[in-house]
Amino acid sequence: MTTAEPFDANDPFELHFHREPILDSGVSLLVLRSDAEADLDPAVWNASVEWLRSQERSLEIVVKLVDGSDPRLCELITSFLDDASQPTIAICKAAEPPSREQWEPLLKALDLADHVLGNRPAAMSAAIGRRLARVVRRVVLGVPLTDVYSPLSLHRAEKLREIPMQSGSSFIDVEILAKATFLGHILEEPCILPMRGTTWRRGWLRDLGTVFKRPAFRRPHEYSVDSRPLEHSQRQPESPDGPGGEDRQGACDLESPQAGPLQDDQTKAADQLGER
């Protein structure tokens, strides 16, 4: 489908992949920084922040320090989402603030997607390793992206909030993408200039086991099933007519004084189950 083609709301394929552009939307930016970098001068972010604001985007920034011995990234990101007020969520784990050339491809891609990661260039050996890892992740988890540990990612806020997070380590990057794929979200991976990022590996294997053995999923709120019980049937259920006219609907039924009393077999309510 090209931009010249009109959007057909009656086509389920187009309806699934259609996203309303969020041009010039505000950005809630979460900067995750190692506790060893606590004294980093915040002035280094001035150029990146000023460029975003020059695009007429509202901007709120939250910096959270990550304890390398116990990262707890799921808690840090979830608490940030609870307070974020902008429709675009940016998560940055880069050693240096992103430049305009790194922001632009991601912001543009988010108009057509739900989650966007910057795909960094890599040396030949690293690129081969990424491709092999991508094959494994795609087969096992359904994740089609290459640079899953990219230090810069953008998300539509309502889509990221649909994903319950369980991983404390940087495995959370893989977890988010795997669950987004399961929920039918759209992923994109535009190429960006090189960026150095931080990866927190403590607890990685534990998180892998947790997500595989006890994955938590939650249906989107707008698609959640009403959990209220069904109403009871207000009329007497009918039984098939038999030789003795057991359904008591014909003339022979009125002439059968030996027939026992009817039982109230009202339809029982079925619980509506919805994942939270």
Inside any domain, residue 256: no
**Rounded CA separation 73/167 (Å):** 7
Work out the average pLDDT over 214-220.
Answer: 73
**Rounded CA separation 217/17 (Å):** 21
pLDDT bucket at 156, cuts 50 / 70 / 90: very high
| Predicted structure pTM score | 0.72
* From 14-28, 29-43, 86-100, the region with the lowest mean pLDDT: 14-28
pLDDT score of 5:
59
pLDDT bucket at 11, cuts 50 / 70 / 90: low
Inside any domain, residue 261: no
CB 28 within 8 A of CB 153: no
CB 101 within 8 A of CB 192: yes
**SS3 of 209, please?**
helix
**Rounded CA separation 130/144 (Å):** 11
Q: Is the dihedral of CA 81, 181, 185, 187 positive or negative?
A: positive
pLDDT score of 231:
44
Inside any domain, residue 185: yes
Q: Is the pLDDT of residue 265 over 60?
A: no
* From 29-33, 126-130, 204-208, 217-221, the region with the lowest mean pLDDT: 217-221
Work out the average pLDDT over 12-16.
Answer: 52
pLDDT score of 140:
86
Contacts 24+ apart (CB under 8 A), 241-250: none
Inside any domain, residue 5: no
Closest by CA position to 145, among listed 113, 178, 167, 170: 178
Among residues of the chain, what percentage have pLDDT more than 70? Answer: 71
Among residues of the chain, what percentage have pLDDT more than 90? Answer: 54
pLDDT score of 6:
60
Beta strands per DSSP E along 162-212: 187-188
Inside any domain, residue 180: yes
Q: Is the pLDDT of residue 245 over 80?
A: no
Q: Is the pLDDT of residue 117 over 50?
A: yes
CB 271 within 8 A of CB 264: no
CA atoms within 13 A on the CB side of 122: 15
pLDDT score of 65:
94
**Rounded CA separation 152/119 (Å):** 9
Phi, psi of 154 (to 5 degrees): -125, 145
Number of domains forming the structure of the chain: 1
Inside any domain, residue 240: no
Mean pLDDT of the chain: 79
Give the CATH number, domain containing residue 54: 3.90.550.10
DSSP string, 59-79: EEEEEEEE-TTS--HHHHHHH
Task: Give the structural domain span for 126.
Answer: 12-223
Inside any domain, residue 82: yes
Inside any domain, residue 71: yes
pLDDT score of 38:
64
Q: Is the pLDDT of residue 273 over 80?
A: no
**Rounded CA separation 4/251 (Å):** 70
Work out the average pLDDT over 98-110.
Answer: 95
Closest by CA position to 177, among listed 220, 131, 146: 146
